[in-house]
Amino acid sequence: MAHSRSLRVIGQSLEAARLTTFELGMEGSDYVLSSDALTTAGEWILRHAVSPMDESEQGTRQPQAIRSVHFTPITISRLDDQARKQRRNDIILNRQAYNRLSQLLRALGDHLDQSHVSAFQISWIQDSALLTFNSLDDQSDSRTFTADKLQQLGSHSRFRRSSGTHASSQTPRLNRTS
């Protein structure tokens, strides 16, 4: 599954958990999320999203502090299917707000897909992200994205998806950090 789709799905879970500060990276084929800003309610939401439990289990399960959450490809597919059904049933949600965390992460994932990265780490703080990544030729780089830059990148990506063009020369310039 593409990073853009996976990161959008993870972003939807983070929106539900109201988590705005986190670290996200890859460990094998899993996306691994960690955050010190996770509330008890947010922890429950993410734990339930990653591994839903039966109602019979809910009373017996003890709360535990989550230091990291693993989003496996199977979990992401399940969450994507659930979100797709919800979007189909809720016309209002079909008018997507492109400044939502899920859409900003989708734009960042689209950039990762186009860059063909081998590994990455995202440090998200409020409305900006620091992306550190390794390209397939094992070159390291980092870039800082503001929410505005990601919206701009997302607009370009939506245009490419709708028109079927893949010209990377039209990609907006990105802020580089050393």
Q: What is the mean pLDDT of the chain?
A: 80
pLDDT, mean of residues 83-102: 68
Q: Are 10 and 31 in contact (CB under 8 A)?
A: yes
CB burial string 118-138: b at 16+ within 10 A, e below: eebebbbeeebbebbbeeeee
pLDDT, mean of residues 51-57: 57
Q: Are 156 and 172 in contact (CB under 8 A)?
A: yes
Query: What is the pTM for the complete model shown?
Result: 0.77
- The tens digit of pLDDT for each residue in 115-163 reads 888 899 999 998 899 999 998 888 899 999 999 999 898 876 654 554 5
- The tens digit of pLDDT for each residue in 7-35 reads 999 999 999 999 989 999 999 999 999 99
Tokens of 37: 């800003």
Q: Are 7 and 106 in contact (CB under 8 A)?
A: yes
